[in-house]
Amino acid sequence: MTPRQPPGAEGLAAARIALNRVETEVNRAVLGQRRVVREVVAALAAAGHVLLEGLPGMGKTLLVRALAQALGGRFARIQFTADLMPSDITGHAIFEMKSERFHIRRGPIFCNVLLGDEINRAPAKTQAAMLEAMQEQQVTIEGESLALPPPFIVLATQNPIEQEGTYPLPLAQLDRFLLKCYIGYPEADEELAVVREVTAGTVGDGLDLSAVSTVMTPKQLLQVQATAAALTLDDAVLGYALRLVRATRDWQGLDSGAGTRAAIALVRAARGHALLAGNGFVTPDDVKTVAPAVLRHRVRLGAELEIEGYRADDVLAEILAGVDAPRS
Amino acid sequence: MDPTRLAAAIRPRGPWESIDLGFALARTWFLPLWLCWWVTAAPLALLTLVLLHQRADLWLLLLWGCKPAFEALPLYWLSRALFGERLTVAVAARRLPQALPPRLWPQLLWRRIGVTRSFSMPVTLLEAPRGAARAARLRVLGTGAAGWLTVICVHLETVLWLSALLLLAFLLPEGMPRLDLEATLTDSGSMADWIGGLLMLAAVSVMAPFYVAAGFALYLGQRTRLEAWDLELAFRRARARPGRAGIGQAGRKGASAGRADASWTHPGRSHFGRGRRTVVAVAAALLLAAPLAGPLSPTQALTREEAGVAIDAVLAESDFGGTREAWTWVYVGDTAEPDTDGDAGMALPDGLIQSLASIIKWLLLLAAATGLGLLALRLLPELRAPSRTRRRAARQRPAGTQSRAAGATAMLPLDIPAEVRRLLGAGDARGALALLYRSQIAQLRTAGLDLPDSATEAECLATAASRARPDQVAWLQRLLRLWQGVAYGHRAADPGAMASLLAERAILMQGQPVQGLSADD
């Protein structure tokens, strides 16, 4: 594998502007969630999948719909339920009487942006159907491998409090998501603006995406992702990212730390964040900023900490405060 | 005192049986005892409530300290009631000054924390010895199971309090403010704290009659056991019967003999028991003989000699004069002669065995101490997790986690500008900028800013912006931008920018520190 050439100033600026426009468009529809929007756009630049977790009514679906609207391309949504079958996602082969041949009917996964709503409501078998698609960007139906159209981004949502009738995602599935973002309650003034704007002249409670314009094509997104992948990454920053990931394996209170894929994801996400910030290189700040979203679903808290009410973010904050940043 | 109206059988009892008796008495007379407790407690509680209305914990502590004063009246009432004098609560309340111990302060101060208070209170109140006499008296009587009684009652109080608290917390109707159980212990002055305090006072008042009565029963039991008080009371009863003056006199003598016998035999239980049996026999004989002899007039009272003859006659009868042999096994130790021949040559010397035993003993103790130490070392960090995980992690930091930054920060050259120029001259722009960066971090730390080794460039800048002068912040911002471009962006350093940074740094170092920032390192 030959290293990519660092992007030129023009390519860098174009990518940054494109990403910022996407971010701005999404922020038009999703108010009060700027941090999450920025993380999602960074994941977009890094060509990573995102798991959004938040209470009902926090705008998870709206965020994904707005992102799909801003990106253009083909968008599909799957509402995960307990009776959802893998073939409902990937597609299946049907026998066509007219031609007397099996014909493959492609499922909704053949799209550019896939919204997996309440992904933890489907059983493990159905969740596993997405593993191949998320990791290898392809789907196998009746022994035939079908490539998914690039770019392919999965944005899944899940509800953290309703555990009845849910199937928690296994660690292998979680590891496929580049970021896990928490959508929390907005600030009071932002919430006021949300309620005011959504209720003014609106009938019913449909998602209003009229304010969101399509500002990027799938082709442009691929270019942006290539630019992000070519950003300069110094060994000191790489070492810093690796030290963070390795620290999770030795930290007391964690049953299991992050794996090598986490280190890769951390660097990829940091590239996306650096590009969004307009830098032509990755800094420790980029790594540290995305580290909680990259690592929080890849570590498993010990029983003692869970009982005491700690969250993965608490431990990750300790780890981030305990690992030295590069200064030479 | 009317010994014929005793409410409980006075006989030798063990400590636990005495406590049982006390609890039975408390159950029988719970209401008057409980009211007697509140006669003293309620006024004090209300008075102190005015002073400590914002501190439920201090209020409760004060009332807890005054418990000996509250328990005096129930004890007084009980000591009368046991012998047939049932006072009303109103009468008992009027006799409060009489019921309180003659010297109350010692009871409320240094004797308050004694665990045998339940036992010493009857001694203090009913016998009123002072100083050394009191100590000697308590030493003679012992304390029975008074310490355990205190432990039991404290536990019962706690259980009662917690039960009431939980009952209240769980059964509060929906819609009412919830009772914050944690606040009952932590939030002084809160409503929850007051509720907890009142429930604790109620639990203490409920247990008080049991504590007082059990302590009094222990006292009775000890006196009965040591002083043959049961016999004395039996003779008193006999004497109190109409027309039994002669027997009463004989009984008094017998009682005296019995008491002397008990004193003499103390603490040997076997002699004590034999003396008691003798006295009981005599007393029983006299009591049995009395009805047969018919009523005696005071003039027909037996003289000492006549009584002695009568007693001897009774003792000479077969019922009392017989002897009985009983056999039992008693271990008297190994009386066998040591085997001096045979394998005597093979036996180890006693001194060597003792030495070996001593060495093994110390080795075992050392092993136990080491094991405990290792266990503590292993458990303590886990108990402190996760607040101290950072410390442990720092100690066990995996290889590679520690960057070179910390060590480099600690070893800065004395003349930084000269070293920077030397590095620039050698073509090491990254090293020169890193040195400037680290020196600036060190300077900010000296000025009191909290900049851990984990702080990134943006965090350092944000921290500095909160306290440093604007020109210093602007300089640091330019330095960091240049540093990031060279170090992370692999860009060539602009010599002009480097020279400008060094020049401005020299100017900044000459300026007076603002908001805690000191001059150069």
How many angstroms separate the first and last alpha carbons of chain A? 28
| In-domain check, residue B347 | no
Is residue B19 located within the same domain as residue B125?
yes
Going along chain A from its start, the domains and CATH numbers come out as 8-203 (3.40.50.300), 231-328 (1.10.8.80)
- Tell me B83's DSSP state: T
pLDDT bin (cut points 50, 70, 90) of residue B294 is very low
User: Is B37 in the same domain as B182?
Assistant: yes
Are B199 and B281 contained in the same domain?
no
Angstrom distance (rounded) from CA B352 to CA B363: 16
Per DSSP, B213 falls in state H
**C-alpha closest to that of A231 among A284, A282, A287:** A282
Mean pLDDT, chain A, whole residue set: 85
**Cβ–Cβ gap A323/B401 under 8 Å:** yes
**Position A83: which residue type?**
D
Q: Give the angle A168-A181-B458 at the CA atoms, nearest 5°.
A: 145
DSSP for B26-69? Answer: HHHTHHHHHHHHHHHHHHHHHHHHHHTTT-HHHHHHHHHHTHHH
Query: Which CB contacts under 8 angstroms, 24+ apart, belong to B462-467?
Result: B467/B515, B467/B516, B467/B517
Torsion angles phi and psi, residue A158, rounded to 5: -150, 155
What residue spans of B266-403 are helical by DSSP H?
269-293, 304-316, 318-321, 350-384, 389-395
SS3 A145: strand
Contact A253, A305 (CB under 8 A): yes
Asked if B458 and A285 come within 8 Å (Cβ–Cβ), the reply is yes
* A166 Cβ neighbours under 8 A, 6+ residues apart: A120, A121, A158, A159
Cβ–Cβ of A324/B402 closer than 8 Å? yes
> pLDDT for B194-242, tens place per residue?
888 889 999 999 999 999 999 999 998 888 888 887 787 777 777 766 5
Contact flag A322-B437 (C-beta cutoff 8 Å): no
Per-residue pLDDT reduced to its tens digit, A57-87:
788 888 888 888 888 888 888 888 888 888 8
Residues B58, B141 within the same domain = yes
As for the ipTM of the complex, it is: 0.81
Quick one: B213 and B234 in the same domain? no
A/B interface, count of CB pairs below 8 Å: 122
Q: Residue B140 sits in which domain range?
A: 3-225
pTM reported for the whole predicted model: 0.54
Instruction: Decide if A252 and B398 are in contact by the 8 Å CB cutoff.
Output: no
For residue A50, how many other CB atoms are within 10 A of its CB?
A: 26
Residue among B454, B457, B476, B481 with most chain A CBs within 10 A, to mutate: B454
Q: How many CB atoms lie within 10 A of CB A268?
A: 23
Nearest residue of chain B to residue A309 (CA atoms): B386
Give the least confident one: A211-215, B187-191, B328-332: B187-191
Task: With cut-offs at 50, 70 and 90, classify the pLDDT of residue B156.
Answer: very high
Q: Are strands A113-117 and A75-79 parallel, antiparallel or unpaired?
A: parallel
Distance between start and end Cα atoms, chain B:
91
Q: Are B37 and B105 in a shared domain?
A: yes
Q: B311: helix, coil or strand?
A: helix
In tens, the pLDDT along B75-118 reads 999 988 888 788 888 888 888 888 887 777 777 888 888 888 88
Convert the pLDDT of each residue in B409-429 to its tens digit: 557 777 888 888 888 888 888
CA distance A127 to A163: 16
B323 touches chain A (CB under 8 A): no
User: What is the residue type of A11?
Assistant: G
Cis peptide before B291 (omega within 30 of 0): no
The reply to whether B332 falls in a domain is no
The last residue of a domain, from among B203, B225, B247: B225
Task: Please check whether residues B27 and B167 belong to one and the same domain.
Answer: yes
State whether the Cα torsion A238-A244-A245-A250 is positive or negative: positive
Q: Are residues B85 and B20 in the same domain?
A: yes
Residues B90 and B46 in one domain: yes
A313–chain B Cβ distance below 8 A for any pair: no
Domain boundary among B321, B338, B365: B321
Nearest CB neighbour to A325, from listed B381, B390, B405 = B405
Tally of structural domains, chain B: 3
Instruction: Note whether B28 and B154 are same-domain residues.
Output: yes
Single out the residue in B295, B321, B347 at which a domain terminates. B321
Nearest alpha-carbon partner for A315 in A292, A293, A294: A292
pLDDT in tens, B488-515: 888 887 888 888 888 887 777 765 443 4
